[in-house]
Structure 1
Amino acid sequence: MFTEELIAVSQQPCVELFVAQTTGPSHRTVLVIHGGPDWDHTYLREPLSKLARTHRLVMPDLRGCGRSTRGLPDDQYTPDTAVNDLILLMDNIGVDQADILGFSYGGLLAQRLALAAPHRVRRLILASTTVKAVPADAFDDWPDAVERRTVQAGVWSNPHLTGPELTRAAAVAAAPANLWRHEILPAYLRRLESVRFSAEWLRPLRAGILPQAVLEDAVPRLTALAIPTLFLHGRYDMTFPALFVQQAADAIPSASAKILETAGHMAHIDQPDTWLAAVSEFLD
């Protein structure tokens, strides 16, 4: 179903993005931006692959991620360089305008892409993401979230783990917080086994030189674009509170929110059919 290739998006420095695509009409292209960012796109292939019946799916790995170019200087990993890669990718594959689906950190990049090149975005889906920074005490009144998030925090502070091994261990430790339906945890962990984790973005983050991805004044700036926008979120997201999403959707006239019950941060895995139905309905 997917064809896979490396596509050059920059010469200075040399950057190639690994891109998985499906065939389909160019005017119904969906560009999918994964999160992490030190993950790859593969954890999003399902249930999105079902859209291939009616849409052209374009699913790249960001620079430094998956099978895309790694080993760049730390200052080359920024939200703006990643967004520029994606715009050039659209140029290189002949897509003038696309529907953009950004997941988690990818949702922050999707917002930036829409602001940088609004004429390239037909519709915008912001899945399991936010439009404002999450305060440190956001989950203090939710004991279950505090407990589950503490496990992941312990992995990040483990001095014996480094590089992709650390990123993978953190993703595994975060699994109980990222899923709401614990009966599907084994299947989710199997999905994580095939993700090609990196730690390229972790280096500038820990060095304190990774720019903030959350936009200043995101709500008024997105309002001014008037791009149809769907916030797609799990009610029990322990990364970005669902309350923030509903508030943003209420404040942006061109936006709506679909909050999925019995779903966490990985809402597309907790409720795949309902999640995909919301995507399909919005795109049509």
Structure 2
Amino acid sequence: MGEFVTVRDRPEVTLFLSSLGPDTGTPLLVVHGGPDWDHSYLRQPLDRLGRRVLMPDLRGCGRSTRGLGPGGYSFEAAAEDLVVLADRLELDRFDLLGFSAGGQIAQRVLLAVPDRVRRTVIASSTLWPVTDDDFGPWPERTALRAAEARVWAESDLCGPALVHEAAVAGAEANVRDPERLPSYLSLLERVTWSAEWLNRFVAGALDSPRPPEGPERLRALAAPLLFLHGREDMTFSASSAERAAEYLPNARAVVLEGAGHMTHVDRPEAWLDALEAFLSEP
């Protein structure tokens, strides 16, 4: 089921919103990553969660408003959109899950309306900037990530086709179970790609996805957080998730072995079990 919700008037910004599950329990608002992806790559296993799951496409992504121009894309604005979306949906209290870059946007949402967010899951994401040094010597990572880097540097494609090609090139680095790789590649064929954010990124004009002074502000807030991660994540190190759980009061980390950045693809049952266990706590 899907609907369009207007969150801004000047310029008009309308978010496409997909809803999963029964209308019971505390709703879960899900923030996808990318950007320039849509929400669809996270639908499974979240469609088995057994509660209302709200999955918007961020501005410029999927079926949400595009063409906002050079000043129309920022992580600050994306987070503000989600707060307004919660207002429009009359969500007085909700849980929050952010995946990858969406995990950093979710931190912005939590800090904006901490009294309305019950529990927050930061999945395959980070609290701090991550560099190659955080991974240590890892030749396999270097080799696998080179495939996607070559696409960005050498491809003749542009626009959404380029973003799609890069995602396919990075699939083997992001999904570590070879048996899961074919279904993941099929999933990528169903994503509605965009390149609205890419143009701003190439121009060096994007703000940081992380909130200003995020670690310090989240530490003072002491909200319940779960860092849900794959041990073989080649984008954001598993050690950074564990370090964040140690740094923040009332936070914990669940790191799943044999899983990469797309932990929900590599280990869907374990990923969903960890999510359900955390969200089921009062």
TM bucket normalised to smaller:
over 0.9
Q: In the alignment, which residue of structure 2 is the partner of 1:234? A: 230
Deviations 1:140-165 (A, max 9, x none): 51000000001100000125111000
Alignment partners' CA distance in 2, 1:183 and 1:49: 21
TM-score normalized with structure 2 length: 0.96
Give the secondary structure class of the aligned counterpart of 1:17: strand
Structure 1 residue aligned with 2:114, among 118, 139, 149? 118
After superposing on structure 2, the runs of 4+ consecutive aligned residues of structure 1 that deviate more than 6 Å are none
TM-score, normalisation: structure 1: 0.96
Q: 1:38 aligns with which of 31, 36, 39?
A: 36
**1:107 counterpart = 2:103:** yes
- Of 40, 47, 50, the residue aligned with 1:49 is 47
Paired residue secondary structure (2:278): helix
- Using the alignment, how far apart are the partners of 1:98 and 1:181 within structure 2? 33
Instruction: Measure, in 2, the Cα distance between the counterparts of 1:76 and 1:191.
Output: 28
Alignment of 1:135-146 (within 5 A): 135-139=131-135, 141-146=137-142
* Identical aligned residues as a percent: 49
For 1:116 and 1:260, the matched residues in 2 are separated by: 30
Q: How many angstroms apart in 1 are the aligned matches of 2:262 and 2:252?
A: 19
Whether the aligned pair in 2 keeps the contact of 1:74 and 1:200 (CA below 8 Å) is no
Rounded Cα–Cα distance in structure 2 between residues aligned with 1:127 and 1:89: 21
- What is the aligned-residue RMSD (CA, Å)? 1.2
SS of the equivalent of 1:70 reads coil
1:64 aligns with 2:60: yes
Q: CA deviation at 1:224?
A: 1.2
The correspondence for 1:76, drawn from 66, 69, 72, is: 72
Matching residue's letter, 1:11: D
CA distance in 2, matches of 1:233, 1:83: 22
- SS of equivalent residue, structure 1 residue 64: coil
1:218: Cα distance to partner?
A: 2.6
* 1:13 corresponds to: 11
Give yes or no for the alignment of 1:185 onto 2:167: no
- In structure 2, stretches of 5+ residues that fail to align are none
Corresponding residue SS for 2:119: strand
Alignment partner, residue 252 of structure 2: 256
Give how far 1:137 is off: 3.9
Q: Residues 23 and 262 from structure 1, CA distance in 2 versus in 1: closer, same or farther, beyond 3 angstroms?
A: closer
Kindly tell me the number of residue pairs found equivalent between the two proteins.
Answer: 280
Measured after TM superposition, the shift of residue 93 of structure 1 is: 1.2
Q: Which amino acid aligns with 2:279?
A: L
Secondary structure of 1:96 counterpart: coil
Unmatched 5+ stretches in structure 1: none
Q: 1:140 to 1:243 in 2, by over 3 A?
A: closer
1:180-238 per-residue CA deviation (whole Å, 9 max, x = no partner) reads: 11121111000000000100000110011111112343322111112100000000000
